[in-house]
Amino acid sequence: MTLAFDDRSERRLLWRNRLATWTPRLVLLPTLIASVVYVLVFTLWTFWISLSNSTLLPDLSYGGIKHYVALWNHARWHVAYTNLFLFGALYVTGSLVLGTVLAILIDQRIRAEALWRTIYLYPLAISFVVTGTAWRWILEPTTGIQQMLRNLGWESATFDWIIDRDMAIYCVVLAGMWQASGFAMALILAGLRSVDQDLVKAAQIDGASMARIYRKVLLPAIRPIFLAVLVILLQFAIKTFDLVAALTGGGPGLATNVPAIYVYDLMFQRGQIGQGAAAAIMILLALAVVLVPYALYTIWRQRREAAHG
C-alpha cells in the first residue's frame, strides 16, 4: 500500500519535473518557429531569388549570378553602396558624439531634467514621413533658412546643401542625427547613472577636474553601452529608407541614393525582383561586416569574464 503510494507520488514528481523542463521550451516554441520562418526562410528565399531568373514576379528557376553582375555594373548601385558606408559612418559617429554631449549636459544636475530629456528624445517618436517634410522646408533654399536670413536683410546668405549633389548627403546625415541622437542620449545617460558613484567621489577627492572624471572614469566605464548604441545605430543606418525618401527622394540626381531605396525601386517599380534581391543580400553582407566583429567581441569578453570569475 505504502509502496504503491510512493510509486505514484514518485511518478507524479517525475511527471512534474518533465513538465517543468518542457514548459519553457513549449512556450518558446511559437517564437522559435516565427523566427525560423522570418529570419532563416525569408533570407534563404531572398538569396535564392537573387540567383534565379525572377523579373516581374518571383520565379524559382536557377539563373546564376547574373543579377549580381548587373548590380555591380550599375553606377547607381555604386553611389548607393558608397553612401551606405559614408552615411553610416557619419550618422553613427555624429549621433554618438551628439548623444554623449547631451547626456553629459543633462547629467549636470540641471532643473527640469525630464523636460530637456523629452525635447531631445521626441524626434524618435514621430515618423520621418511626417518630419521629413519639415526638414525639407527648412533646408530648401527658397523656403527655409536661407530665405529667412535673406528676408532679415542678409542678402548674400547661402545655405543650399540640399540642392548641391556633393553636400546633400550631409543634409541627410544632419536630419538623421536629429532623429537618433536623442536615443543615444537616453542610453548613455542611463549608463552614466549606473556607474558606481563612489568611483566618481574618489576621483573628485583626488582633485580631478570634472572633464577629466568624464574622460577617464565615467565614459570608459560605460564602454559596453557605447557598443550597444553603436550596433543599434548601425542597424538604423543600414535600414535607412524613409529618411531619404522624404528628404531628398534620392536626389539631386542620384546623389543621395541608399541601398534600401535601391532594393525597393528595383523590386517593385522596375520589376527586377532578382536584382533587387541581390541588392538586399548585399545589404545583409554589409550588416555582417558590422555584426561579426561585434559577436566575436562579445564572445571574447564573455570568455574573459568567465576566466576572471
Partner 1 sequence: MTKDLPRIAGAAAALLALTTGAAVAEPKTNLLHQWATGSDAAAIAKLGEMFAAAGGTWEQTSIAGHTANTLAKLRADVVAGNAPPAVQLKGPEIAEWNATGMTANLDEVATAGNWESVVAPELLPVMKPAGSWVAVPMNIHRVNWMWSSPKAMEAAGVEAVPATWEEFNAACEKVVAAGLTCVAHGSFDWTDATTFDSIVYGMDIDLYRAAFVEGDAEAIRSQGMIDAFAQFRRVVDWMDPGMPGRPWEEAMAMMTNGEAAFFFMGDWAIGTLNAAGLQEGTDYVCTQAPVDWGGNGYILNADSVVFFAQDDADYAEGSTLLANTIMSPEFQTIFNQAKGSIPARMDVDMSQGFNPCQVKSQQDLAAAIEAETLVRSMAHNMTVPQSQRGAMMEVITEFVNSDMSPEDAANMMADAVEMN
Partner 2 sequence: MADATLVRDFDPLATGSAARRVRSKALVYALLTLFAAFYLLPIGIVLLNSFRELPDIARTGFFAVPETLTLQPWREALTSFCLAGACEGIRPFYLNSILMAVPATIISTAFGLLNGYILSMWRFRGSEWVFGFVTLGVFLPAQMTLLPWAYVLGNAGLTNTIWGLILIHTVQGLAFTTLFCRNYFVNIPDDLIKAARIDGAGFWRIFRKIVLPLSPPIVIVTVIWQFTGIWNDFLYGVVFSSGDRQPITSALIALTAGATSVRHHNVEAAATILAAIPPLLIYLFGGKYFVRGLTQGAVK
Question: Is 1 or 268 the residue whose CB approaches partner 2 more closely?
Answer: 268
Judged by beta carbon distances under 5 to 8 A according to partner kind, the member of partner 2, partner 1, none in contact with residue 85 is none
Question: Is 220 or 249 the residue whose CB approaches partner 1 more closely?
Answer: 249
Q: Residue 36: in which H helix or E strand, if any? A: none
| Residue 13, amino acid | L
Residues 143-162 that bind partner 2 (CB under 8 A): 143-145, 147-148, 151
Please say whether the beta carbons of 103 and 189 come within 8 A: yes
The correct pick among 168, 169, 173, 280 for binding partner 2 (CB under 8 A) is 280
CA dist., res. 173 & res. 97, Å (int): 13
Residue 121 as a binder of partner 2 (CB under 8 A): the answer is yes
Question: Is 16 or 165 the residue whose CB approaches partner 2 more closely?
Answer: 16
Q: How far is the CB of 271 from partner 1 (least distance, A)?
A: 5
Residues 70-89 that bind partner 2 (CB under 8 A): none
Judged by beta carbon distances under 5 to 8 A according to partner kind, the member of partner 2, partner 1, none in contact with residue 251 is partner 1
> How far is residue 183 from each of residues 15, 100, 117, 119, measured CA to CA in Å?
48, 10, 10, 11
* Cell numbers that stand for 275 in this block: 536584382
**Cα angle for residues 234, 236, 241 (degrees, 5° grid):** 130
Long-range interactions of 198-205: CB distance < 8 A, separation 24+: none
* Footprint on this chain of partner 1 (rule: CB under 8 A): 55-58, 70, 73-76, 136, 140-142, 160, 162-163, 165, 168, 245, 248-249, 251-255, 264-265, 267-273
* Cell numbers that stand for 151 in this block: 528676408
Judged by beta carbon distances under 5 to 8 A according to partner kind, the member of partner 2, partner 1, none in contact with residue 190 is partner 2
Q: How far is the CB of 1 from partner 2 (least distance, A)?
A: 25
Q: How far apart are the first and last CA of the chain?
A: 51
Q: Which stretch, 67-75, 86-94, 160-168, 284-292, contacts partner 2 (CB under 8 A)?
A: 284-292
Question: Count residues contacting partner 2 (CB under 8 A)?
Answer: 106
Residue 59: left if φ>0, alpha if ψ -120 to 50, beta else—which one? Answer: beta
CA dist., res. 140 & res. 62, Å (int): 47
Cα 287–chain centre separation: 10
Judged by beta carbon distances under 5 to 8 A according to partner kind, the member of partner 2, partner 1, none in contact with residue 105 is partner 2
Please say whether the beta carbons of 217 and 202 come within 8 A: no
Q: Which stretch, 76-84, 112-120, 154-162, 163-171, contacts partner 2 (CB under 8 A)?
A: 112-120
Residue 209 as a binder of partner 2 (CB under 8 A): the answer is yes
